[in-house]
Amino acid sequence: MTIRHLFLIVLLYATFLSHPLKGQIISESPEVAALIKSYTLSNKQSEFISGWRVQIIATTDRLALENTKTQFQHNYPDIPYLVVHNRPYYHLRVGAFFDKKEAILMKYFFRKTYPGAMEIADNKLTLDLLLASKF
């Protein structure tokens, strides 16, 4: 018997053992069902998703922000951006990411051009924006 035959026998044996037993019934308690229904309903009502952006500039000078925005649009036309004004600061935030790791990677990429880049949590992202930010 060769190693291939032995491997095939082990593979077939493992496949047959991995099938669940037929006829098992799994039931959930009414409390769990109500909790799942409530959670599903609250998710359907919210149009926003929590995620991350990269802030490439925060300044009190609106002209500096506009210049940076124009430069960014020219260099990265496919990356979405957002201008946020929290008095007295203007913030230019770019991209949209599901998790912090992606935002950190892009932060280091942008730091070559924008040394003040940092990752920022954002609770008002949409699914379209998140999917459009895949580089």
Write out pLDDT tens, residues 49-91: 889 999 999 999 999 999 999 999 999 998 999 999 999 999 9
Q: Where are the domains of the chain?
A: 49-132
Whether residue 56 contacts residue 27, with contact meaning beta carbons closer than 8 Å, is answered with no
| 81 contacts 92 by C-beta, under 8 angstroms | yes
Neighbours of 24 (CB within 10 A): 6
Residue 123, helix vs strand vs coil = strand
Distance CA(13)–CA(15), nearest Å, equals: 5
- Per the listing, tokens 């769990």 go with 32
Answer whether 96's CB lies under 8 Å from 53's CB.
Answer: yes
Compute the distance between CA of residue 62 and CA of residue 92 in angstroms, rounded to an integer: 11
pTM of the predicted model over 0.85: no
- Which pLDDT tens digit goes with each residue over 34-44? 888 888 887 67
CATH superfamily of 49-132: Sporulation related repeat (3.30.70.1070)
